[in-house]
A and B are shown apart, each in its own frame.
Chain A
Amino acid sequence: MADLKVNFAGIESPNPFWLASAPPTNMGSMVERAFDAGWGGAVWKTLGEPIRNVCSRLASIDQGPQRMLGLNNIELITDRSLEVNLKEIRECKRKYPKHALIISLMVESKREAWHEIAKQVEDTGADGVELNFGCPHGMSERGMGAAMGQVPEYTCMVTEWVKEATSLPVIVKLTPNVTNITPPGRAAVRGGADAVSLINTINSVMGVDLDTLVPHPNVNGMAAHGGYCGPAVKPIALNMVSELARDAEVNVPISGIGGIGTWRDAAEFLLLGATTVQVCTAVMHYGYRIVEDMIDGLSNYLDDKGFHSVNDIIGLSVPRVTDWGNLDLNYKTVARIDHQKCIQCNLCHIACEDGAHQCIPFTEIDGKRFPVVDEHECVGCNLCYLVCPVPGCISMVRLDDGSRPLTWRELTTREPETMTAD
């Protein structure tokens, strides 16, 4: 069985599966149950000046019977006293010395405040701190959370303050509510961060109740934007994680967050450069127990692929991510439909007809009307392959005419005038 142990910026963890700072890590009894279920680490619900929450707080987008494809919340940081939290953290760490216990922090933008809380946390025996520079609702209106993460100078400055006060590893949690994730990532590293974690939640309005006309979640007839997370945000998170993993200046470990619910999701984050992953929505949906299959599935995957340790796959796909200009313009694939498997739903036809390149006409074969790809017209876009409900029915087949790879960058260097061509 493959070794799942990781060392994240000096923090030992029995596996890369951590709970993100959120409702599932609200208090000691919850974190302890999570560790019992198998979670390797947990990031405690953000400590700070206790707040008052509103009711209600959560909303979701569903796809038919699939609930919570995306989840949004307007809950703030901990509403429990610092004293109680610190006491429980100390007890938890004493009971679970081998697990990774990270404490999320958010206080007002004052050096003393950050110094004070960092010292108090270090005193509990916790393994590290995570600076919450990502919360996009409520706290950001008070100059905290995303208000920090959106300004690289603030990110750098507060990271420095915390580093001054503690020897614990400092993880900076970044907000995705920026146009480019690299500057805040670099700023955290400049400030001395030992690691970064991302993504925090995305600004979102989840929908509108068509009877009351009030957006969700309804707080006495009014709504405010919240933070979006859950399976639907995974691609956004993967992009941002890989952006930082590719960046030479961001040379610190990454904890990947965003839409992770299974070992497959986790493996993708690891391949794109994350050393640990953090989970929230999937646990809010199904409970701590989901970690069992995450451990089991990842371990089986590593065994199947011949990897001895989870560390062997971290970042393996990073070199496969590049800029568009480096992609091979001469690479050509076309769709092929296996008519033995085709059930004649014709989704490929209408998708190609109305959404792509009109190259899947109908053809009568043995008295049945089948969609057939016109390979001369097919641009290899994948759309038909994506919409086909039958596993293995449509495959994308490479047509290799022997051309050498040619990128747009090469092409425009050689023939600058083509730069204006589309």
Chain B
Amino acid sequence: MSTTHDSPINLAQIERNFREIAPPLTEAEAIMESHRCVYCYDAPCTRACPTHIDVPAFIKKIASGNLIGSARVIFEANPIGASCARVCPVDVLCEGACVEKTLMAKPIEIGRLQRYATDAVFTRGRDVLKAGAPNGKSVGIVGSGPAGLSCATYLARLGYAVRIYERKPLAGGMDTYGMAEYKMTQRVSQEEVAQVARLGVEIKTNTEIGRDIQLDELAGAHDAVFLGVGLGATSRLNIPGEQLEGVYDALDFIERIKTRDWASVPIGRTVAVIGAGNTAIDAVTQARRLGAKRVLMIYRRTDREMPAYEYEYELAKRDAVEFWWQTAPVEIVAGADGTRAAALRCVRTEAVETDAASGRRSFRTIAGSEFEIPVDMVIKALGQQKMVDWLSQIAKLKLDDAGRVTVNPETMQTANPKFFAGGDCVNGGREAVDAAQAGKLAAQGIHLHLSGERVEFAGARVPLHEETSEIKH
């Protein structure tokens, strides 16, 4: 990553390209939208939210002009509710379940209303969460991403002395370093980090467990430990040429964009992004916004199999990305200088069978179909590896075959009773909101383990209302 390509477009244009795609609601819009909410009872949106925020309650509080109360409802169920308001896949969660979508085709803009309320408390500098009276116990948290921040928040509310260890210079994990810049800036995640810090949580950045502090030291210093370490490096392509200049890891690419120091962000004229997940979409859309003339998405299957959400795919389509389906890279070819990527050699694939169980088709390469695409930048977006080696150092911790930490799903306790875990390292890589919920459950689990007391925070479970009788049809 030594060479930086100059963008063909000027910095002002790049700034415009990275404006938020979902701007904040105006007061008029918020009033109109909050009143449009039907105020469902036992609401589908609340059920659909992994943190089970009482969505109708927070929306009606916006309608009544009680923004502080609205933000409290949100943050009590999801300590990273401001981030989630911007990065959640609302189409498949709350807004996808909204009854207005059923009735009028246009769901309530829950995400943007959630942002409206949470922005209001940050702007006014109001704290809606309070730390509990110190209970004399201490918990260490490894990783300051969504899971770690969430767990820390609930533990602080219960009176624990909490210390978060973060290897990066800034806290916030993927919310700080991994979200598409046009969805959320670092400022938002830093507001949330600051909110956690104001609860008395100590956040030690630039501190890596195993390097700066050893595992046994960590375990000795705390009554319990929560692992919110997320995932590791982007998976390798395992093809020749992967080491060439001009070949980047999608997460590193995105992390550089997060600095908004545009001149320092590498960008080619023709950029090939390998993969078709949500991170791959973030890479193609941002490569276009940085000024790449052509951006190609290279995927060995088709759009039917692509893991990215539908609306993310739509975003890429709008950015005039070229989709190369049924195309598998076999080599990154160096240019005349022998050091820089100049072309991507690919092979065509064909669908062979449908796996009856999953409905997913298999694809195999077609012999003799090799061809080269001239590119000057390649971005790998193949998903992240599990942190198997690091996790294996913890005694008695159990990992499943896929390298995920095995936990009790109610308490998030690992096989080592002192250690709890949640987020991507447990679920294999899901949304920030899933990690937030895991952090909440872990805090409840840690409290049960250390005090014997069972607590239940807002949205810990799908709210249970009246019994449902069954009618067989």
Residues of A within 8 A of B (CB): 63-65, 343-347, 349-350, 353, 361-366, 369, 372, 389-390
Give A62's nearest chain B residue, CB to CB: B31
* Distance A361 CA – B466 CA, assembled complex (angstroms): 8
Q: How far is the CA of A218 from the CA of B178 in the complex (A)?
A: 53
Across-interface contacts of B38 in A (CB, < 8 A): 345, 347, 389
Q: A346–B99 Cα gap in the complex (Å)?
A: 10
- B473 with A65: CB separation less than 8 A: no
Chain B: minimal CB distance from A336 (Å): 15
B32-50 near A? 1/0 per residue, CB < 8 Å: 1011001111111000000
Of B31, B468, B469, which contacts A65 at CB under 8 A?
B31
Alpha-carbon distance between A344 and B43 when the two chains are bound, in angstroms:
8
B471 pairs with A347, CB closer than 8 A: no
- Cβ-closest chain B residue relative to A391: B103
Q: Nearest CB to that of A372 among chain B residues?
A: B471
A99 to chain B, nearest CB (A): 39
Contact partner of A364 among B28, B99, B465, B470, CB < 8 A?
A: B470
B102 at the interface (CB under 8 A from A): yes
- Contact of B103 with A347 in the complex, beta carbons under 8 Å: no
Q: What is the distance, in angstroms, from A345's C-beta to the closest C-beta of chain B?
A: 4
Q: A345-B41, A361-B466 are in contact. Are A64 and B63 (CB under 8 A)?
A: yes
Q: In the bound complex, do residue A64 and residue B35 qualify as a contact, i.e. CB atoms below 8 Å apart? A: yes
19 contacts between A and B (CB under 8 A): A64-B34, A65-B28, A65-B32, A343-B99, A344-B40, A344-B99, A344-B102, A345-B38, A346-B42, A347-B40, A353-B466, A361-B469, A362-B465, A362-B467, A363-B471, A364-B471, A372-B471, A389-B99, A389-B103
Residues of B participating in the A interface, judged by any CB pair closer than 8 Å:
28, 31-32, 34-35, 38-44, 63, 99, 102-103, 465-471, 473
A366 to B40, CA, bound (A): 21
Instruction: Point out the residues of chain B lying under 8 angstroms from A63, CB to CB.
Output: 35
Q: Are B469 and A346 in contact (CB under 8 A)?
A: no
Closest CB-CB distance, B470 to chain A, in whole Å?
5
Nearest-Cβ distance from residue B178 to partner chain A, whole angstroms: 35
A64 engages B31 (CB within 8 Å): yes
Cβ–Cβ < 8 Å partners of A65 in chain B? 28, 31-32, 35
Does the CB pair A345–B35 fall under 8 Å?
Answer: no
**Contact partners of A372 in chain B: CB under 8 A:** 471
Instruction: Please name the residue on chain A nearest to B97 by beta carbon.
Output: A344
Let me know if B31 and A363 touch, CB within 8 A: no
A344-B44, A346-B41, A347-B40 provided; 18 other pairs, C-beta below 8 A? Answer: A63-B35, A64-B31, A64-B34, A64-B63, A65-B32, A343-B99, A344-B99, A344-B102, A347-B39, A350-B42, A353-B466, A362-B465, A362-B466, A363-B469, A365-B471, A369-B468, A372-B471, A389-B99
In the assembly, what is the distance between CA of A350 and CA of B63, in Å?
Answer: 20
The 4 closest A-B pairs by CB, nearest first: A64-B35, A350-B41, A343-B99, A345-B40
The answer to whether B471 touches A64, judged by C-beta atoms less than 8 angstroms apart, is: no
Query: Given A65-B35, A345-B40, A347-B40: A365 and B473 within 8 A (CB)?
Result: yes
| Complex CA distance for A365 and B473, rounded to whole angstroms | 7
- Closest chain A residue, CB of each to CB of B42: A346
Q: What is the bound-complex CA distance between A389 and B99, given in angstroms?
A: 10
Beta-carbon contact of A343 and B473 below 8 Å: no
Beta-carbon nearest neighbor of A210 in chain B? B65
Q: How far is the CB of B59 from chain A (nearest CB, A)?
A: 11
Complex-state Cα separation, A353 to B467, whole angstroms? 13
Distance in angstroms from A132 CB to nearest chain B CB is: 37
Write out the residue numbers on chain B whose beta carbons fall within 8 Å of the beta carbon of A343.
Answer: 99, 102-103
Q: Kindly provide the distance from the CB of B68 to the nearest chain A CB, expressed in whole angstroms.
A: 14
Distance in angstroms from A347 CB to nearest chain B CB is 6
Contact residues in B for A390 (Cβ distance below 8 Å): 103
Do B41 and A349 touch (CB < 8 A)? yes
Chain B residues near A364: list those with CB within 8 A: 468-471
Closest to B468 in A: A362
In the complex, the answer to whether A366 meets B31 with C-beta atoms within 8 Å is no
Question: Which residues of A are found within 8 Å of B473, using beta-carbon distances?
Answer: 365-366
* Chain A residue at smallest Cβ distance from B102: A343
Distance, CA A379 to CA B241, complexed state (A): 77
B33 nearest CB neighbor, chain A only: A65
Interface centre among A64, A347, A361 (most CB of B within 10 A): A64
Q: Which residues of B contact A366 (CB under 8 A)?
A: 473
A361 proximity list for chain B (CB < 8 A): 466, 468-469
Contacts of A362 in B (CB 8 A): 465-469
**Could you tell me the distance between the alpha carbons of A350 and B40 in the complex, rounded to whole angstroms?**
9
**Cβ contacts under 8 Å, B32 to chain A:** 64-65
Collect the chain A residues with CB atoms within 8 Å of residue B99's CB. 343-345, 389
Q: Give Cα distance in the complex from A65 to B473, angstroms.
A: 43
Shortest distance from the beta carbon of B94 to any chain A beta carbon, whole Å: 14
CB-nearest residue of chain A to B56:
A345
Q: Which residues of chain B have C-beta atoms less than 8 A from A389's C-beta?
A: 38, 99, 103
**A-chain residues with CB within 8 Å of residue B41 when the two chains form the complex:** 345-347, 349-350
Cα-based distance from A389 to B63 in the complex (angstroms): 18
CB nearest to A366 among chain B residues: B473
Name the residue on A nearest B39 (C-beta). Answer: A347
A375 to chain B, nearest CB (A): 15
* Chain B residues positioned under 8 Å from A64 (CB to CB): 31-32, 34-35, 63
How far, in whole Å, are A70 and B386 apart by their CA atoms in the complex? Answer: 62
Docked CA distance A136–B315 (Å): 60
> CA A366 – CA B63 in complex, angstroms?
35
For the complex, give the distance between the alpha carbons of A310 and B34 in Å: 41
